[in-house]
């Protein structure tokens, strides 16, 4: 049966793929904006659902408080980078530098989350919770993709 970590990794792979595609596309190519918009939606929807259905659970445990707060702060940094890219539309050099920064922030966060946060939270959550949270996360992720778009 599916668990929260498998569900999260699916979106993580989508984010990694979109970051790679964004960096391989010239800023003045119309596809760059399309890729960015898809990435922006995926990042925002994923963060909202993940914060609700993983981070919130871990915040209640003393062992997970610091890690959850750190992960939330990284989501905020990614949000700020996305906002800066939106403001840099029409400025190819600035936009590309911000795309590199965004890709770096996203890859760093995902790597840290998968290597550290998943292991820590795995000790806090029961197997039943992991399965239940996956279902709730997936439902909210789909809903949030529509809300954000």
pTM: 0.95
Predicted confidence (pLDDT) at residue 144 exceeds the cutoff of 80: yes
Q: How far apart are CA 53 and CA 15, in angstroms?
A: 19
pLDDT of residue 102: 98
Q: Does domain 4-148 have CATH number 1.10.1740.10?
A: no
User: On the CB side of 146, how many CA atoms lie within 13 Å of its CA?
Assistant: 5
Distance CA 126, CA 64 (A): 14
List, for residues 69-80, the tens digit of each pLDDT value: 999 999 999 999
Question: Would you place residue 90 in the very low, low, confident or very high pLDDT band (cuts 50, 70, 90)?
Answer: confident
């Amino acid at each position: 049966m599916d668990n929260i970590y498998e569900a999260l990794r699916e979106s993580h792979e989508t984010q990694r793929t979109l970051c790679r595609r964004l960096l391989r596309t010239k800023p003045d190519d119309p596809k760059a904006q399309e890729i960015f918009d898809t990435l922006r939606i995926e990042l925002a929807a994923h963060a909202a659902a993940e914060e609700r259905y993983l981070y919130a659970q871990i915040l209640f445990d003393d062992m997970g408080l610091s890690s959850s707060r750190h992960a939330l702060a990284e989501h905020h940094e990614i949000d700020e980078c996305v906002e800066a890219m939106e403001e840099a539309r029409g400025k190819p050099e600035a936009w590309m530098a911000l795309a590199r920064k965004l890709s770096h922030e996203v890859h760093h966060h995902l790597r840290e989350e998968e290597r550290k946060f998943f292991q820590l939270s795995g000790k806090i959550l029961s197997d039943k919770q992991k399965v239940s949270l996956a279902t709730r996360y997936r439902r909210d992720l789909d809903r949030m993709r529509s809300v954000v778009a």
